[in-house]
Structure 1
Amino acid sequence: MSTLAVADLRACFPALQEKGGKKPYIYFDGPGGTQMAQQAIDGMLAYITGGMANLHGAFPTSVGTDNLLLEGRKAVADLLHCAPEEVAFGQNMTTLAFSVARSLGGFIKAGDEVVVTEMDHRANVDPWVTLAKDKGAHVRFIELNPETYTLKLDYLEELITEKTKLVAVGMSSNVTGTVNDVRKVIARAKAVNAIVVLDAVHAVPHLPIDFQELGCDILFCSAYKFFGPHIGIAVIAATLFEKLQVYKLAPAPQQIPDKLETGTQNHEAIAGLIGAITFIERWGEGASRRERLTSAMQRIERHEQQLTTRLDNFLRQIPELKFYRASEATYKTPTFAFTIPGIKAREVTSWFAENYNMCIADGHFYASTMADKLGVNPMGGWVRVGLAPYNTMEEVTRFEQGLQEFIRTKVRP
């Protein structure tokens, strides 16, 4: 497989272009949201300027909106390898997760158990904790190993039992980049007939995803993490989806996936989502869209791993910082978290923005259980550097120079 044509890829992002002689920002905040590809922008503008309409009308623009939703589901189905009728859209992953949790109320009763993790973003914790509280169920946590930054999976048989009705786990940490062994979790959960929820918000931008092969019941992701607009996506296995008792208006559709999509959807965002998936497809090869998308994600993954190896090796050699990253044996996304003892995280990120034109994030990133366990909140959380396929080795080198300067001038004065 040929390498990713990064220069050509970067040309598809207006935010990455020089404007009026001003250099663009260096965006190292991919985990918080990527920049939007021109194809996504074009899709949104085409819908907005071509005549907007709501669904189920007899006139052409309404029929066009009906077709837009169908095409959006098909595009997501090819990206994630699921059925189009298993794809539902919503405001964001968090809102969808709470809606799904409420719809799962009939599956949970007092005395049951719900299993979540200490690593996850709270969007894949609190909806299920709230559900358990409402139903009188007990919550158990898959613990984080604070030394390895991985989940403790050696005790799954004791943790996930016949009492377990739902297990929620993230595919990849949005802080440390750790890619979890979700197949092991899924296998144990399925052995006791528990529902499995995967948070793939941080995984989809970096890894090829196969919903059917994973065998989970519910998967969430968000288009703004992979070059599109702000819209959430829920993929729910049809056998479960059909059974969900969704809170909805009485006249609203009963069939899947429409029954989960309460109210009018963000149609222009769905148009942008299609554009974002079309953008990804452009970088792959194959006879079908699914093949091209898989090929493209593999190519993106290879490029990002080259940058990851370089930056990982660099950060491990800086004695002045605490690096929160799993060992080489653990697969990880290009997401790096560190703290500098005695320095607030915001001081670091503000300095990079002012002196190096770099967008680097700080905080707990809603992985608040992990932040508490690792004791980073007094420092304002972590400094997080998150890469995307439009990042280059030159930008990584520039960051390395910046960090060395910061330590030289701020830490070793």
Structure 2
Amino acid sequence: MKRSEIKRRPLADTTLASLEPESTVYREPDGQGLYFRVKPNGGKSWELRYKKPDGKWSWLGLGSYPEVSGAGARLKANNLRTDAADGVNPLTAKHARKASELESANSTFESLALEWINIRRPGWADSTAKRTIGALELHAFPVFGKRVYTSILPIEWMEFLQGMEKQGIIEQMRRVRRTCREIYDLARVTGRAVHNPLDGLNRFLQSKPSENYAHVTADDLPPLLRAINAYPHAHDLRLGLRLLMMTGVRPSELREARWDEFDLKAGLWMIPAERMKKRRPHSVPLSSQALDALEQLNRITGAYPLLFPGRNERTKPRSNMAFNMALRRMGYAGRQTGHGFRHIASTILRENGFAKDHVEAQLSHVEDGVSGVYNKATYLEQRRTMMQWYADHLDKLAAGNVVSIKRA
């Protein structure tokens, strides 16, 4: 469209988009001192003609088009004209607004969260980082990410977390609440916030036990053991479930395990600190049954660094849902999960007279406070005897008629 064809002002959006360049730069008035500037190369932008305090006229750029729309340019121009009427230099006011916008951008909840992540990330295992950052990106950032964090009210956080409750994702809700509360603590201790809007919200939110830790009753344990031993779909997962039962480790610790962590001759698995929840190395004595399962697994995945390499990318471990999906295929959805094997081990060992300290050491539970820092006892030999008894006990429970697998 040629500028000679313009019929009305302010300039319509269709006019702004279709105005053709000429051999020299030209400006078309939009109204009240606002002009639309078109360069020979087709570049378009907005300019405001204003009178400086000394009485001289000057031009002030308001941004390029289409990044700044017609409505946006008129709003900026109106604010600057108001400043000029109040005796404020529009150029000074523009720079002040830009600085304020920049400060607001650095005060968003997402920017605070990223700062918190950078501080905490060196101490996280990869699985923890993925889980924590993923929860923020999926839930919190779309709602609060671009908001100035000091402007978000407690009632807004309450309604947001209650919305997650209604979706039935209670564990995810609790993780997001804890994470966001800690993010605000960073602002508070660095003097950028006085109050934490998530303080006290836990008292008004659901706190039912996590379904992620579901485990069968004592009566249902023998059929579960037989179902695992007969699992036909993936031999590595069958062996993985047996190892979860016989070692009491967390599913992530086994799923991400590497062959170079094992000394099969010594019957010992040394998990490095960076893969442990409490960032301390953990020794796991291996029963004869666990060693047998590892030897079978080695024939399947021994050519790779990982015990459980992914199907598509062998340098990464299997999905964090792999063990639970196998249990679901057996018909144990909602009744048994990988983490639940730790509860079973703890209950059986304590009920059969094994010392609490030995059981807690096997489960890599660390005491809180000073006693946890100074108590370095691992009770390795006592645990070796305990876990061999436990593996034998599980074999005795599984002995009997083979039951068919219930498929979900």
Q: TM-score, normalised by structure 2?
A: 0.25
Structure number having the greater strand percentage: 1
Q: Name the structure, 1 or 2, with higher relative contact order (CA <8 Å, separation 6+).
A: 1
Larger Rg: 2
Structure number having the greater helix percentage: 2
Q: TM-score, normalised by structure 1?
A: 0.24
